Amino acid sequence: MKAKILSLCAILSVILFMVSAEAATTTFNFEDGESGLTSYMEEVFGGDLTVNNLTWYGNDTLFGSDAIATTGANPGRIDFDPLGRNESDYEILQISFQWAVYDETGKRDFGLDVYDDGIQNWRNNVFVVEGVGDGTTGTLSSLLFDAAWQVTRIQIHDSGLKDVGIDNLTIVDNRAGGGAPVPEPGTMLLLGAGLVGLAGYRRFAGK
């Protein structure tokens, strides 16, 4: 009985790990202006694209390439799910990008908000960089969203009056295929337990 339980744990952990790896990764470098986002929306949603208070900076000096940025005091927003689908249909699992502050504000300076369809509301400042001045840049290498969230929109802002921007925006969504997000910690623990169990089973069976 003990051997069967250990073997079952190993099998379940591997299955869950494989499920967590089913995702699609897309990078937007904004070298083509809005067309990269439009192509993504056409592929996923059939052509809908909702972008508010954002503009494209051509030959941007902060990034050395084109970038997308807010236009003044209002947050710049991209709606990745304009059709408002059910929880199982679409969500962003992970995000990364380069960020920049174009003007010194004395406010929060850079903030990222995400919209959670599960609670029908925004989760504010899930990534924040405070106290940076004009011409400051940085990189968000990876932000893995809580498994209980259903992230479908993002917005960037400075909680002040001036522009901030992003470039090389990479999202991992829950469509099958493409790249794979980092598995949830619980999944990793289960995988580890399963592998330990499998090793224990082999030692047990070898006796």
Per-residue pLDDT of 73-111, as tens digits, reads 789 999 998 877 776 689 999 999 999 998 776 778 899
* Coil vs helix vs strand at 82: coil
CATH of domain 24-182: 2.60.120.260
Per-residue pLDDT of 157-200, as tens digits, reads 988 777 899 999 999 999 876 544 444 444 444 444 444 444 45
Residue 82 pairs in a beta bridge with none
Tokens matching residue 120: 């029908």
| pTM (predicted TM-score) | 0.76
Q: Which amino acid is at 170?
A: T
Q: Which residues contact 99 (CB under 8 A, 6 or more apart)?
A: 110, 129, 137, 138, 139, 140, 156, 164, 165, 166
Half-sphere exposure of 140 (CA within 13 A, CB side): 24
Ranges of each domain in the chain: 1-21+183-207, 24-182
